[in-house]
């Protein structure tokens, strides 16, 4: 591979006084599944529309396959988009929708029809060609929009929150199908979503955006295990945050004291944003902690506290435990194994955790 | 119990629709029926002969004058419709696509301003504008563009088309505007994204989706203009006289109500046929597939 398929360099976008994007640098590799993840208003959709050619950059450069896209309109770009509303043409049939972009291709009528059928087969709509588009269900429209974009074999496929309007079951099914489809066709996918779970499931890399900037760009596992900022940590999954203090700093890591947990050694890579002597925050995921049931022994670190809330999910139980000497509850998730009791609210309990799972944030503010 | 309940429900239903039903019956169905019945009778000097006859229709269809007037009415109404819809579409398009959302109602409000003055006064004003010594001719002569007043402006079919097109413009703009407003803008982006230029996007997406509004506009303009009486009477001259003027002459000046009724029925049939052709024909061209 010769270089990134998409290169964004210092991309700014303002609408009048409002800065929507404040300097985006992003390289996207060929065949990659990249997700732009963030809360609404973070600029992720604007960034996608800049790549698609629906918005012009205020400042900065957008290169696709090494070509500067400034002044190139959407219809001349090697990108295709799946819209949030699907934008399936209501006055056409399914086949006419899928063939919409083939008007100027040099293929014969029969070849076009075969290509359309192939594209429909790829998204699981084989035989639906003659149906009226306005009579389709949401999930089917989604697939038509996908087939319509993929049939043009774009360099990059852009997906603007394509699954947000589907119900949960269908969404999960489409997530795995999209992933399979992307591997099959090998096209670069850029997905915009506000659903962190969806981002983790589908992406090769995730760019988490806040306020017009990329806060962290990393593969899902790294993003989950080593978020760089508290914002990212709280946006991806659940992160318990406790105030603490760096006591010692050395080449092999830092020595911290955390409210309620006591002293712990933290490896350098568990403090991705760096650490200096002084106060900061310790983050620990619910599944890396355990509630110890009566008589249970462990060689991990242990603290004591009181169960403030119990939330039963069937396969899991989430406990909010207030450790002695602290005032904020920690969320701890426990698998509901056979024979394992579910604690009552107000019960005293011991809690164990693994010091290796603590992430250190050297930030001042909460 | 159920019997009584359903009966009282039915009674209530009839009571609810009775006023508009009576209104529609006495003011629409009865006059229409009267015209239809009258057209099969005949006029004998001062009295009406009530024996069934097709003589009125025979006369209406065989006399070249009536055929000419009916055909001219259709032509003038057709020309008016084409001019009105062609001018209305860009206006509706502009308001829908290029006016900021919060100003759209203001624009629509401004478009309806012609309705504030009486129809009759608007027709008279066109007379003042288009006349021999009218605003247009004096202005163009004053500017030295023309040496003598143009006479093809007033008292012919042109002036009827101009006047009617102006009067019916809002009727055409509003339905087209509504159908353009309903178009999901992401469809236009999708078309661009799939490689089509702005012009092709207009032809392949905007126009087909606006078709219901265009059809409505065509019918709304065509149907009343075929039978228009005031405009041809005031600005039409001999070349701009239409079928409604002849019907009026038959009823009030020649005292031949049966023949006038037959002409009215024929005019209605013509409108029905054209309306059916438009709504079915154009509708089929752009209708969403089954």
Q: Is A91's CB within 8 Å of B195's CB?
A: no
pLDDT value at residue A364: 63
Residue B190: closest CA among chain A residues belongs to which residue? A87
Q: Which of A230, A263, A280 delimits the end of a domain? A: A230
Between positions 87 and 146 of A, the ones with CB within 8 A of B are 87, 89-93, 96, 100-101, 103-104, 130, 132-134, 145
In a domain, A314, yes or no: yes
Same domain, A221 and A297: no
pLDDT confidence band for A362 (50 / 70 / 90): confident
- State residue B288's pLDDT score: 46
Average pLDDT taken over every residue of chain B: 90
A266: in domain: yes
Q: Is the residue at A300 inside a domain?
A: yes
The whole-number pLDDT of residue B290 equals 39
Residue A96's pLDDT is 96
CA distance B85 to chain A (A): 22
- What pLDDT does B286 receive? 60
Whether B224 has its CB under 8 Å from any CB of chain A: the answer is no
Single residue among A195, A230, A265 that ends a domain in this structure: A230
Domain boundary (A230, A246, A277) is at: A230
CB-defined contacts A:B, below 8 A: 75
Beta-carbon-side half-sphere exposure of residue A259 (alpha carbons within 13 Å): 17
Contact list in A for residue B196 (CB cut-off 8 A) is 75, 100-101, 103
Asked if residue A151 is part of any domain, the answer here is yes
Distances from the Cα of B123 to the Cα of A160, B130, B140, B149, angstroms: 54, 11, 21, 20
Question: Chain A residues with CB inside 8 Å of B197's CB?
Answer: 75
Q: Tell me whether residue B115 is in a domain.
A: yes
In a domain, B40, yes or no: no
**What does the pLDDT look like over A160-176, one tens digit per residue?**
999 988 888 989 999 99
Say if A284 falls within a structural domain.
Answer: yes
Kindly state whether residues A245 and A335 are assigned to the same domain.
yes
Q: Is B189 close to A91, i.e. CB distance below 8 A? A: no
pLDDT in tens, B201-218: 999 999 999 999 999 999
Burial A67-91 (b: 16+ CB within 10 A, else e): eebeeeebbebebbbbbbbbbbbbb
Chain B neighbours among A 150-189 (CB < 8 Å)? 152
Identify whether B236 is part of a domain.
Answer: yes
Contact between chains at B193 and A132 (C-beta distance less than 8 A): no
Q: Total structural domains in chain B?
A: 1
Q: Provide the CATH number for the domain around residue A308.
A: 2.40.50.140
Across the range A259-271, mean pLDDT stands at: 88
The rounded percent of chain B whose pLDDT value lies above 90 is 68
Digit-coded pLDDT (tens) for B20-78: 999 999 999 999 999 999 999 998 888 888 999 999 999 999 999 999 999 999 999 99
Claim to verify: residue A177 and residue A93 sit in the same structural domain: yes
Asked if A345 and A280 sit in the same domain, the reply is yes
Shared domain check, A96 and A115? yes
Which candidate, A67, A70, A42, A40, places its Cα nearest to that of A55? A70
> Do A243 and A328 share a domain, yes or no?
yes
Contacts of residue A2, defined as CB under 8 A and 6 or more positions apart, other chains included, come to none
A241-245, B84-88, B149-153, B265-269 — which is least confidently predicted? B149-153
Overall size of chain B counted in residues: 290
Q: Which tens digits make up the pLDDT trace of A77-111? A: 999 999 999 999 999 999 999 999 999 888 899 99
Interface residue A318 vs chain B (CB under 8 A): no
Mean pLDDT of B119-144: 89
**B98 in any annotated domain:** yes
B4 confidence band (pLDDT: 50, 70, 90): low
Report the pLDDT value the prediction gives residue B64, as an integer from 0 to 100. 94
Read off the CATH number of the domain in which B152 is found: 1.10.3720.10
pLDDT at B193 over 90: yes
Question: Average of pLDDT values for B129-145?
Answer: 89
The CATH number of residue A138's host domain is 3.40.50.300
Instruction: Enumerate the β-bridge partners of residue A104.
Output: none
Query: Are A39 and A124 part of one and the same domain?
Result: yes
Mean pLDDT value across residues B174-182: 96
Using a CB-CB distance cutoff of 8 angstroms, which residues of chain A are in contact with residue B190? 81, 83, 87, 89, 145, 148
Nearest CA in chain A to B182: A90
Percent of chain B residues topping a pLDDT of 70: 95
pLDDT at B100: 96
Contacts of A275 (CB under 8 A, 6+ apart): A246, A249, A254, A266, A360, A362
Q: Does A1 fall in a domain?
A: no
> E-strand spans in A293-341?
301-312, 316-323, 330-335
Average pLDDT, chain A: 92
User: Which of A80, A87, A149 comes nearest B187 by C-beta?
Assistant: A87
Q: A316 and A336 in contact (C-beta within 8 Å)? A: yes
B189 touches A: beta carbon within 8 Å: yes
In a domain, B42, yes or no: no
Say which range, A22-31, A63-72, A230-239, A264-273, has the weakest mean pLDDT: A264-273
CA distance A56 to A42: 17
Q: What is the mean pLDDT of residues B127-141?
A: 89
Q: Can you give the residue range of the structural domain that contains A109?
A: 6-230
* B18 found inside a domain: no
- The total number of structural domains that make up chain A: 2
* Same domain (yes/no): A258, A301: yes
Contact B186 A83 (CB under 8 A): yes
What span, in angstroms and rounded, lies between the C-alpha atoms of A48 and A62? 11
- pLDDT value at residue B232: 93
Across the range A314-338, mean pLDDT stands at 92
* pLDDT score, position B239: 87
Contact B190 A89 (CB under 8 A): yes
Instruction: Report yes or no on A42 lying in a domain.
Output: yes
Q: What is the pLDDT of residue B14?
A: 87
Q: What chain B residue is nearest to A129 in terms of C-alpha separation?
A: B289
Q: Which of B193, B194, B286 sits opposite A91 (nearest CB)?
A: B286
B265 is in which domain, residue-wise? 64-286
Kindly report whether the global pTM for this prediction surpasses the value 0.90: no
42-71 in chain A: CB under 8 A from chain B: 52-54
Q: Is residue B186 classed as helix, strand or coil in its secondary structure?
A: helix
B contact test, residue of A100, A102, A162 with most B CBs within 10 A: A100
Residues of chain B found within 8 Å of residue A73, distances taken between Cβ atoms? 192
At which residue do the structure tokens 């078709």 appear? B211
**CA geometry: angle at A293 spanning A291 and A299, to 5°?**
70
Residues A206 and A250 both lie in one domain: no
């Amino acid at each position: 591979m010769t270089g990134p398929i998409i290169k964004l360099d210092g991309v700014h976008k303002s609408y009048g006084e409002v800065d929507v994007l404040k300097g985006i640098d992003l390289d996207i590799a060929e065949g990659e599944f990249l997700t732009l993840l963030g809360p609404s208003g973070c600029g992720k959709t604007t960034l996608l529309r800049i790549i698609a050619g629906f918005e012009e950059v205020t400042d900065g450069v957008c290169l696709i396959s090494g070509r500067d896209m400034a002044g190139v309109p959407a219809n001349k770009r090697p990108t295709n988009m799946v819209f949030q509303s699907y934008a399936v043409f209501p006055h056409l049939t399914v086949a006419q929708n899928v063939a919409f972009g083939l008007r100027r291709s040099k293929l014969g009528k029969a070849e076009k029809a075969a290509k359309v059928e192939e594209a429909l087969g790829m998204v699981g709509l084989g035989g639906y060609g003659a149906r009226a588009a306005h009579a389709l269900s949401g999930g089917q429209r989604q697939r038509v929009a996908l087939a319509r974009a993929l049939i043009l074999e774009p360099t990059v496929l852009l997906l603007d929150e394509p699954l947000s309007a589907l119900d949960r079951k269908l969404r999960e099914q489409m997530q795995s199908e999209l992933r399979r489809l992307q591997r099959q066709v090998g096209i670069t996918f850029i997905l915009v979503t506000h659903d962190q779970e969806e981002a983790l499931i589908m992406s090769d890399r995730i760019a988490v955006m806040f306020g017009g900037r990329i806060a962290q760009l990393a593969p899902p596992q790294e993003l989950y295990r080593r978020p760089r900022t508290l914002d990212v940590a709280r946006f991806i999954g659940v992160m318990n945050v406790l105030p603490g203090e760096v006591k010692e700093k050395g080449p092999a890591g830092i020595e911290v004291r955390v409210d309620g947990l006591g002293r712990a050694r933290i490896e350098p890579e568990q403090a991705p944003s760096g650490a200096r002597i002084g106060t900061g925050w310790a983050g620990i995921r619910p599944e890396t902690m355990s509630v110890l049931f009566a008589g249970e022994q462990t060689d991990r670190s242990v603290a004591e506290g009181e169960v403030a809330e119990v939330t039963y999910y069937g396969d899991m139980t989430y406990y909010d435990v207030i450790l002695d000497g602290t005032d904020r509850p920690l969320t701890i998730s426990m698998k509901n194994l056979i024979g394992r009791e579910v604690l009552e609210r107000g019960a005293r309990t011991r809690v164990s955790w693994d010091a290796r799972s603590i992430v250190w944030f050297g930030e001042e503010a909460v | 119990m159920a019997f009584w309940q359903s009966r009282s429900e039915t009674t209530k239903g009839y009571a609810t629709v009775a006023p508009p039903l009576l209104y529609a019956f006495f003011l629409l169905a009865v006059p229409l029926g009267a015209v239809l019945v009258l057209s099969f009778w005949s006029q004998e000097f001062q009295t009406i002969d009530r024996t069934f006859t097709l003589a009125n229709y025979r006369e209406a269809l065989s006399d070249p004058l009536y055929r000419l007037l009916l055909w001219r009415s259709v032509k003038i109404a057709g020309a008016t419709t084409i001019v009105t819809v062609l001018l209305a579409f860009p206006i509706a398009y502009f308001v829908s696509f290029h006016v900021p959302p919060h100003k759209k109602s203001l624009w629509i409000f401004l478009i309806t301003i012609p309705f504030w003055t009486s129809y009759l006064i608007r027709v008279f004003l066109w007379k003042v504008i288009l006349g021999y010594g009218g605003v247009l001719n004096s202005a163009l002569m004053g500017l030295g563009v023309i040496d003598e007043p143009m006479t093809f402006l007033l008292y012919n079919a042109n002036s009827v088309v101009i006047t009617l097109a102006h009067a019916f413009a809002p009727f055409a703009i509003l339905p087209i505007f509504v159908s353009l407003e309903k178009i999901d803008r992401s469809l236009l982006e999708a078309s661009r994204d799939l490689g089509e230029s702005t012009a092709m996007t207009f032809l392949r997406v905007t126009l087909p989706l606006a078709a219901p509004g265009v059809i409505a506009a065509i019918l709304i303009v065509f149907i009343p203009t075929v039978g228009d009486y005031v405009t041809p009477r005031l600005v039409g001259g001999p070349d701009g006289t239409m079928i409604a003027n002849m019907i009026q002459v038959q009823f009030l000046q020649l005292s031949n109500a049966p023949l006038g009724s037959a002409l009215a029925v024929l005019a209605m049939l013509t409108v029905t046929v054209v309306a059916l052709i438009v709504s079915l024909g154009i509708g089929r061209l752009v209708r969403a597939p089954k």
